[in-house]
Amino acid sequence: MNVNVQALSEREGAAVPSQFIRTMQEQATFSPHDDFCEQIPVIDLAGLSDNQQENTITMASIASASEDWGFFQVINHGISLALVESTQKLAKEFFNLPLEEKQKYAQNPNDPIPQGYGHGSCMPESTILDWHNLFLHYFLPLSLKNISTWPHKPAAYRYYKMLEIFSRLLGLQPNYLKEEFGDPMLNIGLIFYPPCPQPELVLGLGAHSDPNIMSVLLQDEIGGLQVKKGNKWVGVAPVPNALVINIGDQLQVVSNGRFQSVEHRVVTNTSAARLSVITFLHPNADVMLGPALDLVDASHPPLYPTTKYSDYRRDFHRKGLKGKVLVKPAGR
Ligand SMILES: O=C(O)CCC(=O)C(=O)O
Ligand SMILES: [Fe+2]
């Protein structure tokens, strides 16, 4: 049973439906939501450091919290406030959507492992219902990670938003690129660039354009990513909390040269290591990709051949990072 508890809570003055009412014994144990217990431990994980003494103390407090309470809070856990806040904001936006939208992701109670929107009490009819709604995702094992159960709205939930934006910008149907690229592949690279005694002699990463649809880069504060603009290499400034998005070759191909996958490279420096975390969005390996037919006519002939993505990628890896070798720069 999928119960819209949110809607129930919005019915002004209405009594709680009977299926939610707890037994008298349970009601007798009620205590208000802001009645807090000060003793539940709060542990500073910064203490898990190289300092032996601090480390020992912190480990001991985790042990005793686990033994005595089975519950504790942690601070300095390493997850940024910004990430925490943006996750909370996104989740609230989802729950504030109209029911019809949320129901598109309704859990299937017959699914042995239900995912999606619903109500925690997919339980026998007689169970007293809980007063909540939820959205459930699985991430591990990877075989259970089913992106088709993830919401389309709010848009930030999915990468596909960018594909929708690109489709619209090209004057194509909003779903065009998503459909064209098929069931995508997503991979993440962590790249560490150590300092180099002679940075002028090396490249952290040779010049190339990305063979995929697009890449999203979280760079650190060091800098070193350079983009080819005309005949010049220009640096991409690190901006706190920003993500760098770059167009890949397949967007150039499908857009028939309207979008450019630009050559880029990474230079190192003598003093500071640099770390990049980069997410690559690829088309499905089996799809055939060429200029979108709607973008081709007598005055806009196709600029690129149609190629199977797995073949394109294989050639990319065979050639190595040697500039923009597979598709010529878009003509501008
Ligand atoms: O580390 C960077 O800034 C860029 C990495 C990159 O271009 C790539 O892995 O394709
Ligand atoms: Fe790249």
Give ipTM to 2 decimals: 0.99
**Could you tell me the two tokens for 144?**
């259970």
Query: Could you tell me which residues come within 8 angstroms of residue 127 by beta carbon, excluding any fewer than 6 positions away?
Result: 121
Residue 264 Cβ inside 6 Å of ligand 1? The answer reads yes
Confidence of residue 324 (pLDDT cuts 50, 70, 90): confident
The lowest-confidence range among 9-13, 196-200, 212-216, 306-310 is 9-13
Identify the pLDDT of residue 83. 80
Confidence at residue 332, expressed as pLDDT on a 0 to 100 scale = 47
Report the sign of the C-alpha dihedral through residues 73, 78, 82, 86, in that order.
Answer: negative
CA of 226 to the centre of ligand 2 (A): 10
- When the pLDDT of each residue in the chain is averaged and rounded to a whole number, the result is 85
Assess whether the C-beta atom of 274 lies below 6 angstroms from ligand 1.
no
The percent of residues in the chain predicted with pLDDT above 70, rounded, is 92
Per-residue pLDDT at 155 exceeds 50: yes
Residue with the smallest CA separation from ligand 1 atom 3 is 225
Say if ligand 1 is within 6 A of residue 268 CB.
no
pLDDT for the residue 217: 84
Cβ 253 under 6 angstroms from ligand 1: no
* Pocket lining: 249 vs ligand 1, CB cutoff 6 Å: no
Q: What would the mean pLDDT of 312-326 be, rounded to a whole number?
A: 77
Q: What residues contact residue 228 under an 8 Å CB cut-off, 6+ apart?
A: 207, 234, 262, 263, 264, 265
User: What residue owns the CA closest to ligand 1's atom 10?
Assistant: 210
pLDDT (tens digit per residue) in 229-262? 888 999 998 887 677 888 899 999 999 998 888 8
pLDDT tens per residue, range 58-99: 989 998 888 888 878 888 887 788 887 887 788 888 888 998
**What digits encode the pLDDT tens for the residues 256-312?**
998 888 899 999 999 888 888 888 888 999 999 999 999 999 999 999 999 999 999
The H-or-E segment that residue 308 falls in is strand 307-308
Ligand 1 and 276: CB distance under 6 A: yes
Alpha carbon distances (Å) from 85 to 80, 91, 220, 279: 9, 10, 20, 22
CA of 310 to the centre of ligand 2 (A): 18
User: Which of 119-123, 217-221, 288-292 is predicted with the least confidence, judged by mean pLDDT?
Assistant: 119-123
Highest mean pLDDT among 35-49, 104-118, 182-196: 35-49
Testing ligand 1's pocket by substitution, the residue of 212, 278, 317 carrying the most ligand atoms inside 8 A of its CB is 278
Q: What distance in angstroms lies between residue 280's CA and the mean position of ligand 1's atoms? A: 10
Residue 61 Cα, ligand 1 centroid: separation in angstroms? 41
Q: 331 pLDDT exceeds 70?
A: no
205: Cβ below 6 Å to ligand 1? yes
> What is the chain's Cα-based Rg?
26
Which amino acid residue places its CA nearest to atom 9 of ligand 1?
278
pLDDT at 326: 66
CA of 293 to the centre of ligand 2 (A): 28
Q: Around Cβ 26, how many Cβ atoms within 10 Å?
A: 10
Most informative mutation of 188, 203, 215 for ligand 1 (most atoms within 8 A of CB): 215
Which range has the worst mean pLDDT, 44-58, 115-129, 166-180?
A: 115-129
Separation of CA 313 and ligand 2 centre (Å): 13
Query: Cα(278) to centroid of ligand 1, in Å?
Result: 7
> Which of 187, 188, 190, 191 to probe ligand 1 with, by most ligand atoms within 8 A of CB?
191
pLDDT digit string (tens) for 39-69? Answer: 989 999 899 888 999 989 998 999 888 888 8
Q: How confident is residue 120, by pLDDT bands cut at 50, 70 and 90?
A: low
**Residues 212-225, mean pLDDT to the nearest whole number:** 89
